[in-house]
Amino acid sequence: MKPSGRPLALVVAAVAALPVLIGTPASAAGAEDIPGVDQIRSSWNIRQIANVPKKAPFDNVDALGTDIAFTDGKAIVGNYDGFTIYDIRNPRKPTILSQVSCPGAQNDVSVSGNLLFLSTDSSRSDASCTSTSLPASEKSAWEGMKIFDISNARSPKYVAAVETNCGSHTHTLVPDKRGKDVYLYVSSYGPRAEFPDCAPPHDMISIIKVPVRNPAAAAVVNKPVLFADGGNPGVPGSFPNVYTSATTGCHDITVYPSKDLAAGACMGDGVLFDISDRERPKVINRVQDNAHFAFWHSATFNNDGTKVVFTDELGGGGRAACTEAIGAQRGADGIYDITGRGDNRKLEFRSYFKIPRINGETENCVAHNGSLIPVAGRDIMVQAWYQGGISVWDFTNSAKPKEIGYWERGPFSETEAITAGSWSAYYYNGYIYSSDIQKGLDVLDIVDPRLLSAKFVRTDELNVQTQKGYRG
C-alpha cells in the first residue's frame, strides 16, 4: 500500500465540520433502542454515501450477496447465484459493469491481475455456469474452483475449473515467492460417509497451483492433512446453548505472505501456520475455546503480524446471536497475541470483542468478515455483523478492545427471520465497502481524526484474506 494524493486540506476540513461530535464514543444500546425496519442509525463519524441495490436476476431473497475482492478501481462481489463487478472509481456513484449468473453457493471471490477465482460449495451437475443442483451423494456431482478472465470487466470469460474434495466453501489466494504464479488454499468441511467426494476424515485443505500465464493448467498440487489427531472432537449441543463444532476441515484461512504466516479458522480449532513452503503449510500452534467458541469462522492479523483476531460464527450466520441472552462473549471476536519465535510461536488469548448493541430476535447477527483500517501504529479494523451492521473497533490494547464507530440498518423484517445484513465490510482506498446480503453494495465514509492517515493509503488490489503490510 502507498500514500494517496488526496489533499490534506480536504480531509482536515471534513473533520473540522464535526467539532461538536468529535470524542463522542460509540455506546451500548438496549433492546428498546432497536431501530425500525430499514431505519439507519450510526455513530457520529460514519455516514452512508451510496447504495447500489441488487439487480435482476440477483434481486431476490435467495440470491445472497457474499464476499468482496478489489482490483484497479473495481469491486467484485460474490452472490450465491454468481458475481457482480462494480466500477467504484467514484465511490459516491458506483455503477455495475457486469453480472455473471453462475450458481454455486457461496461463490467466495478473489482476484489476481486479470484472473478472478470463484468458489463453488454446492453439488452441481457439471462445472459450467448453467449447471443444475445434484445431491452430494451422486458420484458425478461437481464442486470446486472456477477461474474467469476479467481483462474486459464488462464481459468476463470462463477459463477453467478445478474439482476439490468437499468443494470450496472459501479459498485464499497465496502468491508464490517468485511473484509469477499463485496458489489457492481451498477450505471446505462437512464430510459424510455417503458423499463419495467428501468422505470422512476430511482433516485437510486442497492447494491449487495456478500458472498465471496458463490458468487453464491450474491443478491440485497437495492435500495436506492439518489435523493428524482428528482435530477438536467438538462439544455436543445446539444454538443457543453452549456447543463447539467438531473439526472436519477449515472454514477460512488468512495468509500474510511477506511474513510466511497463515491463520486458520477451522471449525473447532484456531490454527497458526508457517507457509514458507507454499505447497506444504506447517502447523505451528493450535488453540481451542470450547467454553465460548461454537464455530471458528475467520481470522485477521494485525499489521505487525503479532496478533490474530478470530471470529466465532455462533448459529452459522443465520441466527440472532446479538441478544441479551447470548451475552458479550459468544458469537464474538477472540483476540490472540502471537508470542515466542519460530516453531515455538503460540497463540495466547487476551480478550473478546462484541458489538455493544442489542439486536432483535429476527435479526441474524454474529461476528463476520472484516479488514484492517491502515492506521500506522494502531490496530483498528472494520467488521461486518450481518444485521448487527458494521463496527469499527480498536484492538491496539489486546486486553481492552473498544468500538470507535458503527453503522447499521434496522431489521430486514420484524416478523420473519430472513438472512440479511452485511456479509463483508472492508476498507479500500479511503472508504468502507459493505456487501449487504439483501440490499446490495453500500459505501460508507468514515471521518475521524484517529483514522486520518488511512485516507492517504492506496492499493490497486485487495483480497482481504491475503494480507499486505502498510506503513501509512
pLDDT at 31: 60
**Domain-embedded: residue 467:** no
**Domain-embedded: residue 136:** yes
**Domain-embedded: residue 470:** no
pTM of the model: 0.94
Distance between first and last Cα of the chain: 8
Confidence of residue 28 (pLDDT cuts 50, 70, 90): low
Instruction: Kindly give the residue spans of alpha helices, DSSP state H, lying in 17-157.
Output: none
Domain of residue 24, CATH code: 2.130.10.10
Mean predicted confidence (pLDDT) in 135-162: 97
pLDDT digits (tens, 9 = 90+) for 379-436: 999 999 999 999 999 999 999 999 999 999 999 999 999 999 999 999 999 999 999 9
> Rounded distance, CA 375 to CA 451, Å?
6
**Domain-embedded: residue 469:** no
Confidence of residue 442 (pLDDT cuts 50, 70, 90): very high
pLDDT digits (tens, 9 = 90+) for 108-117: 999 999 999 9
**Domain-embedded: residue 468:** no
pLDDT digits (tens, 9 = 90+) for 82-116: 999 999 999 999 999 999 999 999 999 999 999 99
The residue segments making up the domain with residue 14 are: 2-462
DSSP string, 144-195: EEEEEE-SSTTS-EEEEEEE-TT--SEEEEEE-TTSS-EEEEEE-----TT-
Confidence of residue 180 (pLDDT cuts 50, 70, 90): confident
Statement: residue 40 has pLDDT above 90:
yes
**Domain-embedded: residue 112:** yes
Mean predicted confidence (pLDDT) in 201-216: 97
pLDDT at 26: 52
pLDDT at 32: 66
Confidence of residue 17 (pLDDT cuts 50, 70, 90): very low
pLDDT digits (tens, 9 = 90+) for 242-279: 999 999 999 999 999 999 999 999 999 999 999 999 99
pLDDT at 1: 53
Question: What's the total number of domains in the chain?
Answer: 1
- Counts of helices then strands in the chain (DSSP H, E): 1, 32
